[in-house]
């Protein structure tokens, strides 16, 4: 069997078994799946912290992430970061972030994210920040954001990596990476 075919077969098997693995950082409310919420550690006195996750709408009608509440910050907002003529701009989305039917929206550094305004304490690596997310139609759902390193990538504990599997060595050329693009 060619190497790429074996890699694709292993990836398919891993994805099929993923629901059986311990996925403590995935949540569901109504038709919305909240996958791997995470944040970064913050220095003492930081005026804000950011949160990231993947949102999937399994329903047939659009929904919106409106924001949320947490004891870890004075308030929580949905934000968008974008480039405008070479200048990075960030703005709050007062009407929330739409998740179209069947769409997957990734909240990630440099793009959509939730902003924790005036954190009550610095976010520490390996901490779990308790948040209640609010969706327009699906309602409210309690989740925990796993905190990683300052300026670092998603914490390894929050990823879908499975023991004994070298995800980075797999051939992803046949996969549709466009499915993870943010919805507008």
Name the residue ranges covered by the structural domains of the chain.
24-151
pLDDT at 94 over 80: yes
Q: Which of 131-135, 137-141, 156-160, 163-167 has the lowest mean pLDDT?
A: 163-167
Look at 34 and 23; give whichever has higher pLDDT: 34
Q: Indicate yes or no: pTM above 0.85.
A: no
Q: Provide the percentage of residues in the chain whose pLDDT is more than 70.
A: 72
Which residues in the chain belong to E strands, given as ranges? 26-29, 32-40, 48-57, 63-69, 73-84, 87-92, 97-99, 104-107, 113-119, 128-135, 139-148
At residue 45, the pLDDT reads 94
- Report residue 72 as tokens: 């870890």
Q: Give dist(CA 132, CA 130) in Å, integer.
A: 7
pLDDT band at 88 (very low <50, low <70, confident <90, very high): confident
CATH topology of domain 24-151: Immunoglobulin-like (2.60.40)
Question: Exposure of 91 by Cβ count < 10 A (0-12 exposed, 13-18 middle, 19+ buried)?
Answer: exposed
Average confidence (pLDDT) over 120-124? 97
């Amino acid at each position: 069997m060619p190497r790429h075919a074996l890699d694709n077969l292993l990836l398919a098997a891993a994805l099929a078994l993923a629901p059986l693995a311990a996925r403590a950082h995935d949540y569901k409310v109504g038709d919305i799946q909240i996958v791997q919420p995470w944040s970064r550690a913050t220095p003492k006195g930081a005026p804000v912290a950011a949160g990231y996750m993947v949102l999937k709408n399994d329903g047939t009608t659009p929904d919106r992430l409106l924001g949320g509440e947490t004891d870890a910050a004075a308030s929580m907002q949905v934000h968008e970061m974008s480039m405008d003529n070479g200048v990075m701009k960030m703005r709050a989305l007062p009407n929330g972030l739409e998740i179209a039917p069947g769409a997957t929206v990734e909240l990630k550094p440099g793009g959509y994210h939730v902003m924790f305004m005036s954190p009550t304490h610095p976010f520490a690596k390996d901490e779990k920040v308790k948040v209640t997310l609010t969706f327009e139609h699906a309602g409210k759902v309690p989740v925990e954001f796993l905190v990683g390193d300052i300026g670092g990538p998603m914490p390894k504990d929050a990823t879908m990596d499975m023991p004994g599997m070298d995800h980075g060595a797999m051939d992803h050329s046949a996969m549709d990476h466009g499915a993870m693009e943010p919805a507008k």
